[in-house]
Amino acid sequence: MTGLAVRCRRVLHIYRADGGDVVALSGVDLDIAAGEKLALVGPSGSGKSTLIALLSGLMRPSAGQVRIGPVDIGRVSDAELARMRGTDLGVVLQGARRNLLPYASVLSNIWLAQRRAAQVRPADVERPERILSLLGLVGMGHRRVRDLPPGAAQRVAIAVGVAASPGLLLIDEPTSRLDREARDEVLDALDTINRERGTTIVAVTHDPDVGARLGRAVTIRDGRVGAEGREGREFAVVASDGTVQLPPEVLENVPPGTLLVVEQTDGRLSLLIE
């Protein structure tokens, strides 16, 4: 299975509420290459989980464009979105057991996740035993989910997420509440899926170490892309409207309303306080 690319342009999402509308995303621009691994990091309420919900087709953007491969999520029918979630998109919700039937075996959970894909493109669906091997779960197929330790349950949730051989795997907090050993096992599993299948992986996380391990980390702050980390370096990101979010440590000394002079010299930009 080939990974799917992701493209977001000026994505806006508003939650309607009795007490007033809440803007969760306010102009997100983001490109993710097919086969890339990316972490969405940021504080609670920054918009990370909303963005994952839009990428998975569980919600539609209020404005802007979300494109998964060749498909504009905002323009397809509900039936097409349902088909994509059963074939092209793998979604793992926060909390491993929310994705699983606790009374059923590991193999049964995987079989259930494969049903739609097996009807649409059976040649691409791998045997459940192969998926278990891929994730280091050999010998656990007949165990009931409710009897698994947390780290193994999270890997089974990922196994269910990739059961249909999706081109895009979306995971919300894959290492939450896991000890270091279990966390590393989960991250190793994601590395294997990406390497063996070329699956594009997008994970929401509060853990900067997880972001560093995935290789590319995009910080969501106040509903927008605030910064991006690559190979240990952090960069500010210019949005499509020309705006740039300054790092929080800079904003401590540069309050809103401060006048800045922008100078460009020999390929370098400088911001000077007026």
Q: Is residue 65 part of a domain?
A: yes
Claim: this prediction has a pTM higher than 0.75: yes
Q: Is residue 60 part of a domain?
A: yes
At residue 31, φ and ψ (nearest 5 deg) are: -120, 130
Structure confidence at residue 154 (pLDDT)? 92
Q: Is residue 1 part of a domain?
A: no
Structure confidence at residue 43 (pLDDT)? 81
Q: How many domains does the chain have?
A: 1
Reported as type and span, the H/E element at residue 51 is helix 48-55
Q: Is residue 17 part of a domain?
A: yes
| Cα dihedral value 82, 4, 161, 55, nearest 10 | -60
Edge-first strand order for the sheet with 6-15 is 22-32, 6-15, 63-68, 71-72
At residue 24, φ and ψ (nearest 5 deg) are: -85, -35
Residue with tokens 């979105």: 81
Return d(Cα 129, Cα 43) in angstroms, integer: 38
- CATH number, domain of 159, equals 3.40.50.300
Q: Is residue 11 part of a domain?
A: yes
Structure confidence at residue 228 (pLDDT)? 83
Reported as type and span, the H/E element at residue 150 is helix 150-161
Residue 245 is part of which domain span?
6-273
Return d(Cα 46, Cα 224) in angstroms, integer: 8
Q: Is residue 210 part of a domain?
A: yes
From first to last of its 274 residues, the chain has per-residue pLDDT tens of: 689 999 999 999 999 877 788 889 988 999 999 999 999 998 888 889 899 999 999 899 999 999 999 999 989 999 998 888 888 999 999 888 899 999 999 999 999 999 888 887 777 788 889 899 988 899 999 999 999 999 999 999 999 999 999 999 999 988 888 888 888 888 999 999 999 899 999 999 888 788 888 889 999 988 888 888 887 778 878 877 778 887 777 777 788 788 888 888 887 888 787 7
CA distances from 123 to 6, 28, 34, 112 (A): 25, 36, 21, 17
Return d(Cα 220, Cα 45) in angstroms, integer: 10
Structure confidence at residue 101 (pLDDT)? 93
Structure confidence at residue 1 (pLDDT)? 60
